[in-house]
């Protein structure tokens, strides 16, 4: 199984939306990333009525950082319906700021389509 297939499967498995309360839900999209050590970390988005939610990529990055890693080699985000989503600007910027080498991260845009983070974020804050 390719890295893409493995990451896609892991992200898709956690993407179904779950209602947490009348004001919050999680899921809707899941993300999986591969680090340079070969470990995979996953995350889900959290949506809250107060606007304090966060993206699936942020959740996966937090898991990775807790384990002492920061170099992302590949990442994918998958919606509940199986569609691959691009990281938003906030997620792109986070990836670039936690490790300068992440500008070379492969971002999957489709099964046979990807770009380096530097291509999607040519003028980063950092």
pLDDT tens string 49-102? 998 889 999 999 999 999 999 999 999 999 999 999 999 999 999 999 999 999
Predicted pLDDT at 126 = 63
Predicted pLDDT at 52 = 86
Q: What is the largest CA-CA distance in the chain?
A: 41
**How many whole angstroms separate alpha carbon 3 and alpha carbon 1?**
7
Domains, the chain, ranges and CATH? 3-120 (3.40.140.10)
Q: Which two tokens stand for residue 27?
A: 């899921």
> 5 CB contacts (<8 Å, ≥6 apart)?
none
pLDDT at 47 over 80: yes
34-52 average pLDDT score: 95
Predicted pLDDT at 23 = 95
**How many whole angstroms separate alpha carbon 109 and alpha carbon 84?**
6
Predicted pLDDT at 1 = 66
- The H-assigned helical ranges of the chain are 3-13, 56-66, 89-98, 117-120
């Amino acid at each position: 199984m390719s890295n893409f297939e493995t990451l896609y499967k892991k992200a898709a498995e956690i993407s179904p939306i779950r209602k947490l309360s009348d004001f919050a839900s999680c899921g809707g999209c899941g993300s999986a990333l591969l680090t340079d050590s070969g470990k995979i970390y996953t995350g889900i988005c959290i949506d809250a009525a107060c606007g304090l939610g966060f993206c699936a990529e942020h959740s996966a990055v937090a898991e990775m950082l807790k384990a002492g890693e920061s170099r992302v080699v590949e990442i994918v985000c998958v919606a509940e319906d199986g569609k691959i989503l691009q990281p938003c600007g906030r997620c792109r910027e986070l990836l670039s700021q936690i490790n300068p080498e992440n500008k070379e991260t492969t971002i999957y845009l489709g099964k046979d389509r990807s770009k380096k983070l530097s291509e999607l974020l040519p003028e980063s804050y950092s």
